[in-house]
Structures are given as structure tokens and as C-alpha cells.
Amino acid sequence: MDQELMEAVLTAGRQEAERQRVPVTLTIVDTGGHVRAVWRAEGCSYFALESSRVKAVTASQLRLPSHVVGEISQQFPVLQASFAANPEITGLPGGFPVLHDGAVVGGLGVAGGNFEQDQSIVLVAAGAEPS
């Protein structure tokens, strides 16, 4: 994932969070799950940093939105147990794969608002393209 794409994603997420007046943390990871960029709004919860990272890792590594992971795990108890045993996987809304030219190039996690706010912000931000 190049710098231009990361900046576009962070800018779109920041603007949407500010529009909604929700203090959030945005975390971008690469396809290896390594943190590449973080933006934290003033007043955002301490816990949002780790939550946004895990949402981003989930989306990047499983190549699915984190809320879809949660829905799948509810349908299959074996998966739910497996996911529960791995602290790097979450089913909470707010994680989304970052795509470029149709390929997953990383993951974005948003945390700090309620589930609906995190989800709406991540959808705007993950769809951003560099200018």
C-alpha cells in the first residue's frame, strides 16, 4: 500500500468522523498485519487504539469486513471458539479491507464511536482513492 492511498484513506475517515462529530481512532495495516498509519482524534478513548488495530488486522488477514467475521462466527460455533482463542480477530463492526485495483492491500480499523458510527466511517474511508 503506497503513501498516497494511506493518506487518502485517513483523510476520508478523518473528514467523515469530523462530519459526524465522533472522536475515533483510525488504524491502517498492511497485508502482513503491520501498522502503517494511525490517526487519533482528540478526546478519543484510550481503548480505541487497540480496538481499531485489531479490526484492521482482522479485515486484512481474513480479507473480510470485521462485522462479517462476527456474523459468520455466530453461525458456526467452532469458528466462534477459534476466533475467541485468537485475540487478533474480532467480529466487531468497524474493520474493512483496503482495496486497490481490486486487490486487498491492507486493512482499516475504526474505533471510538458506537458500532454504527464506526461502521459508517470505515465504509467511507475504505472506499477512498488517491487523487
Interacting residues of 64 by C-beta distance below 8 A, sequence separation 6+: 58, 72, 97
Q: What is the pLDDT of residue 131?
A: 67
The answer to whether residue 18 is domain-embedded is yes
The answer to whether residue 131 is domain-embedded is no
Q: What is the pLDDT of residue 83?
A: 87
Residues above pLDDT 70, as percent of the chain: 99
Asked if the model's pLDDT at residue 1 lies above 80, the reply is yes
Helix or strand holding residue 83 (H, E): helix 77-84
The answer to whether residue 59 is domain-embedded is yes
CATH code of the domain covering residue 42: 3.30.450.150
The answer to whether residue 47 is domain-embedded is yes
Q: What is the pLDDT of residue 84?
A: 86
The answer to whether residue 27 is domain-embedded is yes
Yes or no: say if 42 and 56 are a contact pair by the CB < 8 Å rule.
Answer: no
The answer to whether residue 100 is domain-embedded is yes
Range of the domain at 59: 3-126
Q: What is the pLDDT of residue 40?
A: 97
Residues above pLDDT 90, as percent of the chain: 89
The answer to whether residue 23 is domain-embedded is yes
Helix (H, G, I), strand (E, B) or coil at 113: coil
Yes or no: say if 124 and 25 are a contact pair by the CB < 8 Å rule.
Answer: no
The answer to whether residue 72 is domain-embedded is yes
Instruction: Write out the three cell numbers for 56.
Output: 484492521
Q: What is the pLDDT of residue 130?
A: 76
Number of independent structural domains in the chain: 1
Cβ count near 112 (within 10 Å): 24
Instruction: Write out the three cell numbers for 81.
Output: 471458539
| 33-88 pLDDT tens trace | 999 999 999 999 999 999 999 999 999 999 999 999 999 999 998 988 988 899 99
Q: Which is nearest to 1 in space by CA: 50, 41, 34?
A: 34
Strand partners, 65: none
